[in-house]
Structure 1
Amino acid sequence: MRRTGITCPGCDRDDLVQAVPAAYLAGRDAVTRRERDRDGDMRTVTRRVTSGLSDALAPVPAPPTYGLGGLGAFACVVSIGTFLGGAIGGRWFQEGTAHEPPEFGDWHLTLQDVPAEPPPAYEFLGWISALAFGVAVLAFAVVVRRRAAFTRITRRRHQAEELWAHGWYCHRCGTVHFEDVPGEDRSPLTLQRFREKVWEHGGYGALAARQRAVDAGRS
């Protein structure tokens, strides 16, 4: 690590002081390695690796997870599958239903020609399809709402990033301080306190209490 000329107010040294944006980016990397799949064949896999320090120095909250989107997609597949199964097996859309009695004048009609009542399972597939469709719609609605809420909350993230860019992290002390920020002194801050200040500047400081910065230790 190159000397920056910026000293840490805690230890009064500059050999392990790094700009917060640099420390944040240094902890985010893509790692490629060879590993075996389920069939035992070797394959190349690239994974995103993020250090604890990089997470703690993030200028914005972590976006909401979209696991419900997977549930919605699965429910959608179930809805379509059960609907098609019921429509084909139960012959829901064919002309002439099992409830239509044979005409008395048609003496050629035999018992074999009378359409049988569809098994109850086919009727039950319709209810399963409708229920799965409702679950899919609800899951997708929740995902869209969460995404819109996150976008709305972080609309002032550029203001948070302006303050964040003036932070300096000391790998020896494990603290952050600000340089050349009007209204902010050079007092060393814990990772959590630094997060609170930055996120409050962006208008989403309340989330700092729920997404707490984990002390990643000192180098």
Structure 2
Amino acid sequence: MRTVTRTVTTGLSDALAPVPAPPTYGLGCLGVLAAAVSIGTFLGGAIGGKWFSDGPAHEPPEFSGWHLSPQDLPAEPPPAYEFLGWISAFALVAAVLAFALVVRRRAAFTRITRRRHHAEELWSYGWYCHRCGTVHFADAPGEDRNPLSLQRFREKVWERGGYGDLAAQQRAVDPARS
């Protein structure tokens, strides 16, 4: 036997959320991929191109007299690994930029939601009437008892938290109408 725990989020719980949805971190996955490409191409170039060896990467063939014998010539020219260094550098820059954007987004979300406790306090006074599809405040100080639409409830709660301007961007969707 095993126990599986899952978080199920409904449209109604999304509409009544006391805070906006946090930013996604798909860009961070792209940064990890770019970092892996950077490391892989650097190691491939360093090992294959012998970038850190003491002597030249490819020794010139030895002369036997004034002419070269066919045995002295290599069968095919050695591959050039310099392009791997450029790929590694570009991938490293992409990884650093991706990680910087993820950190910046996370810091901005934290800064925006720093007054979340005020929003959650007002949110705790609200109750949803499933029959009429509206939200009411029960004994909330400074709030009237008129029924509110899901969007209006979101606006009031998010304004209390200091991020009410996001309510217009992230509209509450009525689950009964969708």
For the 8 Å contact 1:99–1:117, the answer to whether it is kept is: no
In the TM superposition, residue 212 of structure 1 has moved relative to its aligned partner by 1.1
Aligned equivalent of 1:158:
117
Unaligned runs of at least 5 residues, structure 2 = 62-68
The partner residue of 2:79 within 119, 124, 147 is 119
- Whether 1:77 and 2:24 are equivalent positions in the alignment is no
Quick one: which amino acid aligns to residue 37 of structure 2? V
Q: 1:211 aligns with which of 151, 158, 170?
A: 170
Q: Percent identity?
A: 78
Residues 49 and 57, structure 2, Cα contact 8 Å, conserved in 1: no
1:196 positional shift? 0.3
Paired residues of 2:156 and 2:164 also in contact (CA < 8 A):
yes
Deviations 1:37-92 (A, max 9, x none): xxxxxxx9754321111111110110000001100000000000000001010000
**Structure 2 match to 1:96:** 55
Report if the CA contact (8 A) 2:12-2:175 is conserved: yes
Distance 2:5 2:37 in 1: 32
1:178 is aligned to 2:128: no
Q: Structure 1: which 5+ runs fail to align?
A: 1-32, 34-43, 103-109
CA distance in 1, matches of 2:56, 2:34: 29
Q: Is the 8 A contact 2:129 2:135 kept in 1?
A: yes
- Please tell me whether the aligned partners of residues 113 and 163 of structure 2 are also in contact (alpha carbons under 8 angstroms): yes
> What is the number of residues matched between the two proteins?
169
Structure 1 segment 1-219 matched on structure 2, within 5 A: 47-98=6-57, 118-120=78-80, 122-217=81-176
Return the TM-score normalized by structure 1: 0.70
Q: Is the 8 A contact 2:50 2:57 kept in 1?
A: no
- Residue by residue, what CA displacement relative to the aligned partner does 1:86-142 show, whole Å, maximum 9, x if unpaired? 10100000001248889xxxxxxx99599x97523x111111000110100000000
SS in 2 for 1:180: coil
Say whether the 8 Å CA contact 1:197–1:205 is kept in structure 2.
yes
Secondary structure in 2 aligned to 1:86?
helix
Corresponding residue of 1:3 = none
Q: Is the 8 A contact 1:166 1:180 kept in 2?
A: yes
**Greater fraction of residues in strand:** 1
Q: CA RMSD in A?
A: 2.7
How high is the TM-score relative to the length of structure 2?
Answer: 0.85
